[in-house]
A and B are shown apart, each in its own frame.
Chain A
Amino acid sequence: MVQVIDRRLNGKNKSAVNRRRFIRRFKRQIKKAVEESIDERSITDIDSGEKVNIPTRDTSEPVFRHGAGGRRESVHPGNKEFVAGDKIKRPSGGAGRGGKASNSGEGEDDFVFTLSREEFLNFFFDDLALPDLVKTQLATNVETRKVRAGYSRDGVPTNINVVRSLRSALARRIALRGPHLRRLKEVEEALDDARRRDEHGRIADLEDEARQLKKRIAAIPFIDTFDLRYNNRTDIPRPTAQAVMFCIMDVSGSMDETRKDIAKRFFILLYLFLTREYERIDVVYIRHHTTAKEVDEDEFFHSRETGGTVVSSALQLMHEIILERYPTNDWNIYAAQASDGDNWGDDSPRCRAILTEKILPLLQYFAYVEIMPDEHQRLWHEYQIVRESHRHFAVKRIDGLTDIYPVFRRLFRKKAT
């Protein structure tokens, strides 16, 4: 007696609850892992899941058991050369004898698993103190819009496609009428023949049949529900347009790892925001000390140089790149600049001039963050002047991770109006 049951369709995510509980319980460790992973991640790669390692020790479930030591005997297979009484050196560490390794302690491998995109972003946002609304906006998928996608057999009356419906009605009428028409033709020929020969009985029969056939042909409906075709629409993600994001960072000696980390998160957040709005995003990295240079992401974050700071060089370079590669009628241009506020005194007024005259008219938004400055210097004050006359220019001071978000409030507020 046997019963075969197909269970494939029910209860797909039975472990989801347990998984959620696991993540809740080890929130602290996972958060640490996420933070570490941000250092290694590329900005444009932030929007996916993440493999997380947490130490096995933390997740272990203890039971009473023996530690190493004492007197124990174990049996192993595959003896080649030993005879009773042989002395063997104790294998060092846990390696060698599997049987012993499992007795003498836990493996020190990390516990590795993968966070989904949502889970990863949750941990990422956790640090940034984003309000829930923004979190969900960033984490959920982009809006969709309806596009034409062929025709379907069902739909609402407003979507009826007249041409297609009539065409299929015509086809149906031709198909259904065909046999009758053929027969009618035969009957009519036979009728002519009969009339010529004057066979009265046959004439009456044939006339009768011809009448029947005509009646049948007439009964085929002009249009039937079967013929109706509807315009079909389907959802596709709305591609707004393309955007370019300039990341400008001061890499002079005073920008240490902590500051760079904050800057990176700031850039990531801007990138995430832009991915929601735009289908295609280019990211241009410009780093500068006394001269500016366009670099790739790795060099942007990881190489260090010492020297003075001339911010205007970066702005100048950015302007050149915009003119050369990103015509404003094709591109939405965003810029984010991170610095610790150091600049050569004489250079700051020049920055203001380049910004107001050349750059800001081309840009959607320019955000400047000053990360943990010792005190505000001239650049800050010059930028304050710029801010007063330009609504799409933001200046914020960031003293820690939680300060990153307020800078973005302006961005979102701007969108709401």
Chain B
Amino acid sequence: MTGHVLSETSEWTFDLILDYNREIARIASDFGLDTYPNQIEIITSEQMMDAYSSVGMPVGYRHWSFGKHFLNVEQRYKRGQMGLAYEIVINSNPCIAYLMEENTMMMQALVLAHAAYGHNSFFKNNYLFRAWTNADAIIDYMIFAKNYIAECEQRHGEENVELILDSCHALMNYGVDRYKRPPRLSANEERMRQKEREEYLQSQVNHLWRTIPTKQKDATQEEKNRFPREPQENILYFIEKHAPLLEPWQREIVRIVRKIAQYFYPQRQTQVMNEGWATFWHYTILNQLYDEGLVHDGFMIEFLQTHTNVISQPAFDSPHYSGLNPYYLGYSMMSDIRRICASPSDEDRQWFPEIAGSDWKETLDFAMRNFKDESFIAQFLSPRLIREMKLFSVLDDDRKRKLEVSAIHDESGYRSVRQSLAHQYNLGGNEPDIQVYNVNIRGDRALTLRHSQYNRKPLHSNVGEMLKHVARLWGFTVRLETVDKHGRSLSTHECIVEQ
């Protein structure tokens, strides 16, 4: 089937964007992509830098760190060290995708396919996003957060708000529930209930800290009755609910940062899959446009050049090497799954008996819906791809004088390489495991955090500074004890707050 070429030149117009979008949408739905409705916004490069520095949200509260990111992005862009991201897409309903006005028509089409159909369908269907984020409410919630924080700045002073935000940002990665699903966000309810919650929270805290003497218990009993009973992984949540001295507005700010961290948590867990999925689809969709005769050769050559840049992967010994490129890894794996389904080799049949020879669209859809980076790699990285990428794993043990190559792309190494690579994308393994362990309720109110050491990895030397942030929120002395896997205490850090 051959159609009429949509455009001859590289200039874009609003009509052309709609034309391309119509064709891309048709192809995407033929392939079975299920998406939120799209909202496409044309912006300037400066606005792109704005969006970039405020973590991609169209609205955000004010904080110096966003200014820092902006300056950084601006400087690097001006020096030509980086091209701007071609696209930013927001997990919202409707899904907002930004197109930059400087881009050529080819780039706009690429971004449409990549963001407005690739990422969009991922947001809508991946289990983590379905369970943990509420695309309908995020924009409203960000507006609520911005207004609330601006109001706090007026009432309590910019500096005071900034201090709280600094400390919350430092703990942002410890403001997520990893296992328990949080209640859904709703800006309206937030506003309605916020007043109520302020009073309630304060009363709870007061209850915990009431000073009316209770019956003395012996020390061993106290040891058993730790507060909290179970260690808590969500430090910000614990602070929001139990920090003795925080004002209601400060608790609300902690909550806002915590909610935003939670919203971004799935994106941090699915970077390889998400980018791989979007890259796979822009490649597939634009090729389909070409096969149908809707775009000409020049368009495709320009596209292939860009696409190749996006998925370039320098080898480990190249000066440009900075780790694995998630676009490359994700795209290669998605394409590889398609290959395994469509034309499996004997090796594939042996390794992937359940998907070899199946319908590739269904299999990819299944993979996209039900995995995160860690499990996706553990499940689908094939020996053939390990060979193609020439992956090898290196063991760095500080007790040994040299590094050791623990596995390479050979028969005995496939499973081991796959296992280590999957583990590399396990957020839980990369961040220190630090949990709220105990609060000395009856004594000096000191908060004890417990760092369970993993593979003997020590904490970074900034731990003292970090404890200052925790202490600022908690208001009393904060201790951090590092324990090994048997629960033996290895070291303790402390930030003492004089009352």
Contacts and interface: CB of A to CB of B under 8 A. Distances in A.
Nearest to A98: B322
A17 B146 CA distance: 13
Contact of A3 (B40, B166, B171, B401): B40
A14 interface: yes
A416 interface: no
A73 B94 CA distance: 41
Nearest to B52: A15
Given A88-B402, A98-B323, A6 B469 contact: no
Interface in B44-103: 44, 46-47, 49-50, 53-54, 62-68, 70-72, 74-75, 78, 94, 101
Nearest to B317: A78
B404 interface: yes
Nearest to B174: A64
A257 to B, nearest CB: 30
A6 B162 CA distance: 33
A2 B403 CA distance: 54
Main secondary structure of the interface of B (DSSP, over half): mixed
B170 interface: yes
A70 interface: yes
A218 interface: no
A20 B68 CA distance: 10
11 contacts: A15-B53, A18-B70, A21-B162, A24-B64, A62-B170, A64-B434, A64-B459, A67-B457, A69-B458, A80-B390, A113-B75
Contacts of A17: 62, 67
A73 B420 CA distance: 7
Contact of A72 (B401, B408, B457): B457
Contacts of B398: 68-71
Interface stretch (B218-226, B285-293, B410-418, B436-444): B410-418
A357 B75 CA distance: 55
Contact of A71 (B169, B396, B430, B432): B396
A283 B420 CA distance: 67
A102 B430 CA distance: 12
A69 B323 contact: no
B25 A63 contact: no
Contacts of A71: 395-399, 455-457
B43 A2 contact: no
B424 interface: yes
A158 interface: no
Given A63-B171, A84-B412, A87-B403, 11 more contacts: A4-B17, A14-B54, A15-B54, A18-B54, A66-B457, A75-B417, A76-B316, A77-B390, A84-B405, A86-B404, A89-B403
Given A2-B21, A4-B14, A79-B391, A14 B47 contact: yes
A105 B323 CA distance: 15
A66 B390 contact: no
Interface stretch (B238-246, B360-368, B460-468): B460-468
Contacts of A64: 171, 173-174, 431-432, 434, 459-460, 463, 466
B271 interface: no
B324 interface: yes
A54 to B, nearest CB: 10
A74 B71 contact: no
Contacts of A63: 170-173, 466
**Which of B407, B413, B420, B457 neighbours the largest number of chain A CB atoms within 10 Å of its CB?**
B457
Interface string B154-173: 00001000100010011111
Interface residues of B, number: 100
B396 A21 contact: no
Contacts of A23: 67
B208 interface: no
Interface in A1-41: 1-8, 11-12, 14-15, 17-25
Given A77-B390, A88-B405, A22 B40 contact: no
A201 interface: no
A11 B63 contact: no
A79 to B, nearest CB: 4
Contact of A22 (B14, B68, B101, B432): B68
A114 interface: yes
Interface centre among A5, A66, A67 (most CB of B within 10 A): A66
B394 interface: yes
Nearest to B404: A87
Contacts of A73: 393-396, 406, 420, 423
A239 interface: no
Given A25-B64, A64-B173, A79-B409, A18 B466 contact: no
A83 B39 contact: no
Contacts of A2: 18, 21, 25, 37-40, 116
B46 A84 contact: no
Interface string B168-191: 011111100000000000000000
A83 B408 contact: yes
- Specify which of B47, B50, B68 lies most central, judged by the most chain A CB atoms within 10 Å of its CB: B68
A75 B41 contact: no
Interface in A296-320: none
B73 to A, nearest CB: 9
B465 to A, nearest CB: 5
Contact of A79 (B64, B72, B172, B408): B408
Interface centre among B43, B54, B392, B412 (most CB of A within 10 A): B392
A6 B42 contact: yes
A187 B407 CA distance: 107
B92 to A, nearest CB: 13
A408 B387 CA distance: 75
A204 interface: no
Contacts of B420: 73-75
Given A62-B170, A62-B462, A3 B94 contact: yes
Contacts of A114: 75, 78
Nearest to A99: B323
A53 to B, nearest CB: 11
Contacts of B66: 15, 18
A408 to B, nearest CB: 33
B446 to A, nearest CB: 19
B497 interface: no
A70 B404 contact: no
B315 interface: yes
B42 A4 contact: yes
A234 to B, nearest CB: 28
A14 B408 contact: no
A1 B37 CA distance: 6
Closest 4 CB pairs of A and B: A78-B315, A22-B67, A70-B457, A18-B67
B41 A5 contact: yes
Contacts of B390: 77-80
A61 interface: yes
Contact of B314 (A1, A78, A85): A78
A215 interface: no
A97 interface: yes
Contact of A77 (B162, B315, B431, B461): B315
A266 to B, nearest CB: 32
B465 A18 contact: no
A20 B317 CA distance: 41
B466 A21 contact: no
B318 interface: yes
Contact of B469 (A7, A24, A62): A62
A82 B402 CA distance: 14
B421 interface: yes
Contact of A67 (B116, B173, B406, B461): B461
A65 B434 CA distance: 10
Contacts of B399: 71
A12 to B, nearest CB: 7
B452 interface: no
B448 interface: no
